[in-house]
Structure 1
Amino acid sequence: MKKQYLLYFIVFLYCSLSAQNAVDSTELKSNPIIYLEGNFGYTGGNASGFTIGCQINYQNNKDLFTFRYQNQSNLKSDYVAVAFIAFPYIYSDFNIDEYSILYGKRYIDNNESYSFSIGVSNNIKHSKIKENNIVYWQDESYIGIPFEVTIKWFKANKKRFRAYYGLIPIGKPTAFGRSFGFKLYGNVGKSSYIGAGLSLGYGWHKKY
């Protein structure tokens, strides 16, 4: 599972850097509104646990179109005794891969935005099954109704992009930049859940 999370992070980082490199000195005044987000949170419900995901968003006027991937995992802790010493470890009984397409509205006010979206998703639940002392994973697919509400902040005006934790300015003033926000999200289906978490993004968050 750790390798899977690492792969998602690398893909997200690669897409972010590729988008940054696409910005040049001939950037149009009316830039498109398109941005990537990485999401981290915790949920409750039938599929309670931790969430990690990424998504790409495109806005036209106030219409917001989103493709979202999320992995939902319930993490538990236990311990194993070795030479009278208890060593704790973390494990998961199930996880859910969610692939969603959402439509909603997004409203921009200077350096912040509010968005509301709902859509349809294909969910694949991976459950750990134990029978006759044999453990295996069982996959189950079902349709869900994903939703999310997001509030986020970004730069109000064009500025030079800053790398290395915002310390080193690079290039000329650009519309490309970072964002930070909070997200309420969930999915209604066979294994419903609702959660909240952080949202970190890169892209063009409004028309500059």
Structure 2
Amino acid sequence: MKILLVAIIFLSSISFCHSQKEQDSIPNKTNPIIYSELYFGLAGGKGIGLVVGGELNYQNKNDLFTVRYGYQTFATFGGTSLGFIGIPSIETTLNNHEIGLLYGQRYVKDGHSFSFSGGISTNYSIGEQRNNEELLKQSQQYLGFPFEINIKWFKKAKKRFRAYYGLIPIGKPTSFGRSFGFKLYGNISKYSYAGIGINYGFGWHKKYE
């Protein structure tokens, strides 16, 4: 699953760079709205967890189509006592890989956008539970219904792309650029969860003239 995430990001980066060169050579052509992003944050579900993932998005008019990969790890905590001293311990953990297809609506105004999406996903989870000194493992595969709400900011007009953390401008003004925002995400499934995080993206986030 991690290899799939790296492959999506790598292929989308190549596509972005190739399309950028073609657009720079064709004047007065409106760019498509297509962008990739990485996100990470916190979530609650089968315990308290961390979430990290990646997406590839395409927008036609206000229709938004998304391919999403997410990895979630959750833990529940217990404790043992040693005399008068309590010692916390992890009782169960759940690691889940999620691949989803989502459809939604996205609205753009100047240099920011708002979107909401829902869809279907396949999930593969590995659970671990401690029974005294024994560690029990169980793997499961099941369907889910992923959802997300996004708000993000990006440049209002074409500008030169800046490399090395935005310090060095490169080439001519282009519609290709970065974005930053916040994401409310989750999945309704056998092990439902919901959380909030931040996202960071590259691509064409609106129609630029």
Tell me the TM-score normalised to structure 2 length: 0.82
Aligned length in residues: 195
1:14 pairs with one of 10, 14, 29: 10
Structure 2 equivalent of residue 49 of structure 1: 49
| Rounded Cα–Cα distance in structure 2 between residues aligned with 1:165 and 1:32 | 25
Query: Contact between 2:46 and 2:74, CA under 8 Å: does it hold in 1?
Result: no
| Rounded Cα–Cα distance in structure 1 between residues aligned with 2:119 and 2:47 | 19
**Counterpart AA for 2:186:** G
User: What percentage of aligned pairs have identical amino acids?
Assistant: 48
Matches within 5 A, 1:97-176: 97-129=97-129, 135=135, 137-176=137-176
- Check 1:18–1:93 CA distance in 2 against 1; reply closer, same or farther (3 A cut): same
| Rounded Cα–Cα distance in structure 2 between residues aligned with 1:173 and 1:55 | 26
Structure 2 equivalent of residue 83 of structure 1: none
| Rounded Cα–Cα distance in structure 1 between residues aligned with 2:92 and 2:53 | 17
- The CA deviation at 1:133 is 5.3
Query: Contact between 1:12 and 1:38, CA under 8 Å: does it hold in 2?
Result: no
| Rounded Cα–Cα distance in structure 2 between residues aligned with 1:91 and 1:36 | 36
- The CA deviation at 1:19 is 3.9
Q: Deviations over 1:68-106 (max 9, x none)?
A: 00000025799xxxxxxxxxxx99822111111000000
| Rounded Cα–Cα distance in structure 2 between residues aligned with 1:174 and 1:91 | 52
| Rounded Cα–Cα distance in structure 2 between residues aligned with 1:15 and 1:92 | 36
| Rounded Cα–Cα distance in structure 1 between residues aligned with 2:8 and 2:43 | 22
Structure 2 equivalent of residue 67 of structure 1: 67
Structure 1 equivalent of residue 190 of structure 2: 190
Tell me the TM-score normalised to structure 1 length: 0.83
Structure 1 equivalent of residue 82 of structure 2: none
Matches within 5 A, 1:80-99: 93-99=93-99
**Counterpart AA for 1:56:** L
Cα RMSD (Å) of the superposition? Answer: 2.9
SS at the partner of 1:156?
A: coil
* Structure 2, unaligned runs of 5 or more: 79-89
Query: Contact between 2:46 and 2:193, CA under 8 Å: does it hold in 1?
Result: yes
Structure 2 equivalent of residue 81 of structure 1: none
Q: Deviations over 1:17-64 (max 9, x none)?
A: 424421122256211100001010100123530000001000000000
* Structure 1, unaligned runs of 5 or more: 79-89
SS at the partner of 2:14?
A: helix
- Check 1:19–1:167 CA distance in 2 against 1; reply closer, same or farther (3 A cut): farther
**Counterpart AA for 2:160:** R
| Rounded Cα–Cα distance in structure 1 between residues aligned with 2:164 and 2:42 | 28
- Check 1:183–1:121 CA distance in 2 against 1; reply closer, same or farther (3 A cut): same
- Check 1:19–1:204 CA distance in 2 against 1; reply closer, same or farther (3 A cut): same
